[in-house]
Chains A and B, each alone.
Chain A
Amino acid sequence: DVKVTQSSRYLVKRTGEKVFLECVQDMDHENMFWYRQDPGLGLRLIYFSYDVKMKEKGDIPEGYSVSREKKERFSLILESASTNQTSMYLCASRQQGSIQPQHFGDGTRLSIL
């Protein structure tokens, strides 16, 4: 079974802090994704990566950056956290070119105070 692990289930940070959300997958998937999930808005893609050191902006990249130094790890960075970034963050991975959907991590519920 594919395992996508997010480093924290719950996180509380202060406005202006730099926040790192870590995600690791163990199935050698090329593609990794970061989403945020907000009530009434469904899932929105922040950034994705097709392979190591590659990254592409999703639908809502503003205020975020990512890092993919190793294939198994995809980090989401909030450069200067703001209250409107309080959300549920979901990491996912997928085999490149697969017709199968993504595998999701358990999510990180981030609160910015």
Chain B
Amino acid sequence: RKEVEQDPGPFNVPEGATVAFNCTYSNSASQSFFWYRLDCRKEPKLLMSVYSSGNEDGRFTAQLNRASQYISLLIRDSKLSDSATYLCVVISNTGKLIFGQGTTLQVKP
């Protein structure tokens, strides 16, 4: 089993839709969690940190579920510009940083 797993997709949604991605992790002692956005031919950009209490930034909401060992990213009112690959990142209690494979989102007009 991979340490961090994501559904690679692609998720094809119409503009205005709400879409959610999950990312599961195997190490229950993992400390920190993040979502990155990856655009073709560009470096990854940190999208947001993920906390147990939830974290909201405009149309984006990130949530951590420690009991079930997953993090989620919810995007409301999808825009064409949201089309990208979304990577989850988990930092373990030993400081090891692990990327998920990424989930590809395509927002269609």
Contact = CB atoms under 8 A, between A and B. Distances in A.
Contacts, number: 46
25 contacts: A40-B8, A40-B104, A41-B101, A42-B38, A42-B85, A42-B99, A42-B101, A42-B102, A43-B99, A43-B102, A88-B41, A96-B95, A97-B95, A99-B31, A99-B91, A100-B32, A101-B36, A101-B46, A102-B97, A104-B43, A104-B44, A105-B43, A106-B43, A107-B42, A107-B43
Contacts of B89: 101
Kindly state the interface size class of chain B when it binds its partner: 20 to 34
Contacts of B100: 42
A101 B91 CA distance: 8
A102 B46 CA distance: 9
Interface residues of A, number: 22
B96 to A, nearest CB: 10
A51 to B, nearest CB: 13
A55 interface: no
A95 to B, nearest CB: 10
Contacts of A107: 41-43
Contacts of A66: none
Contacts of A106: 42-43
Contacts of A102: 97
A6 B36 CA distance: 20
B25 interface: no
B87 interface: yes
Given A43-B38, A102-B97, 16 more contacts: A37-B38, A42-B87, A42-B102, A43-B102, A45-B99, A88-B41, A90-B44, A99-B32, A101-B32, A101-B46, A101-B89, A101-B97, A105-B43, A106-B43, A107-B41, A107-B42
